[in-house]
Structure 1
Amino acid sequence: MTGQQATLRAMTAADLPAVHALEQRMFPVDAWPEQMFHDELAQTDTRWYLVAEEEGPEGGTVVGYAGLMCVLPIADVQTIAVAPEHEGAGIGTALLTALIEEAARRGADDVLLEVRRDNPRAQALYARFGFEQIHVRPRYYRDGVDALIMRRQLRRPEDAASAPRPPGGTA
């Protein structure tokens, strides 16, 4: 880490080459094609993506990114990644906080995510945020590693039944 503070902002199409390069570096076996990011950004009614950017002499550098799908009553963390050289600087925490806040703002009852069984660092982050493992998807990833499905309840079921929903269900 260079000591610079990363800032979060909405992901744009201009960010996608840098995001895709980081995606390929972080997830070489399971990297999303760049077109998938374009498709996700186009679905503004149910998707929300952001980047963590560090300012430097050459301008901003994408050092992390995250995305959320929200189809009420569930929100799902689609992706979250931080460049290895920036781990431990609070960027993952900031990204996950923003996703959870957006899920709550949109009226989700729960936030779900999948995490590799062999990624204890990510599992620990999610546990700190109150996510609990609810299921296992055997051999979910292309290299045969299981996915742990984790959930964080944003509202208790009895609260959710009487809570008002935003107009259109996803605002």
Structure 2
Amino acid sequence: MSGVASLNLPVEFFPMAAGDLDAVAALEAQLQAFPWTRGNFADSLQAGHSVWVVRIGGELVGFSVVMAVLDEAHLLNIGIAPRHQGLGFGARLLRNAMECARLGGANKMFLEVRPSNARAVELYQHFGFRRIGLRKGYYPALGGREDALIFDKDLR
């Protein structure tokens, strides 16, 4: 299914289940040069993180992982299938993650993002996230390590 064709299909959000792990790990492997493993996602489920999938016409096309700590939330991972990017599905998934965190008692959300991921940086800034710091050498990269931009957003 092409991304444009998916615009006419129902978009549904579900809590991630163990049966989604293989599909989510496969999608993550398409998105990242250094992807989370199936075990990383399983650990997030086991830890009770807010872990969601988005389906379009029944097909799993995205996921988000948010860890809550007291009144704060940390967006650990989020992704949309490449053919569905740029069509607003990532924005809907991010909005869902923020709303679930807020309803769960979080007043603030934090995240890290690669400076080279301009599309994600733009999305976060569009949603009112503000850059508050830098983590040097945070991400593995083909040429060694890449820094992470730290963002936060007030959810109240």
**TM-score strictly above 0.5:** yes
Paired amino acid for 1:38: A
1:19 equivalenced with 2:24 (yes/no): yes
Match of 1:154 in 2: 155
1:65 equivalenced with 2:55 (yes/no): no
Match of 2:112 in 1: 114
Structure 1 unmatched runs, 5+? 156-171
Secondary structure, in 3 states, of the residue corresponding to 1:23? Answer: helix
Q: Where is the strand percentage greater, Structure 1 or Structure 2?
A: 2
Structure 2 unmatched runs, 5+? none
Match of 1:168 in 2: none
Hey, what's the Cα distance between the residues in 2 that align with 1:94 and 1:34?
24
Give me the TM-score of the superposition, normalised by structure 2. Answer: 0.90
Paired amino acid for 1:150: F
User: Which is higher, the Rg of structure 1 or of structure 2?
Assistant: 1
Aligned-pair distance for 1:2?
4.3
Hey, what's the Cα distance between the residues in 2 that align with 1:113 and 1:82?
17
Secondary structure, in 3 states, of the residue corresponding to 1:28? Answer: coil
Hey, what's the Cα distance between the residues in 1 that align with 2:112 and 2:26?
22
Match of 1:161 in 2: none
Secondary structure, in 3 states, of the residue corresponding to 2:146? Answer: coil
Match of 2:37 in 1: 33
Give me the TM-score of the superposition, normalised by structure 1. Answer: 0.82
1:79 equivalenced with 2:83 (yes/no): no
Match of 2:99 in 1: 101
Aligned-pair distance for 1:106?
1.4
Q: Can you list the C-alpha shifts for 1:96-130, whole angstroms capped at 9, x where unaligned?
A: 11111111111112100011110111011101111
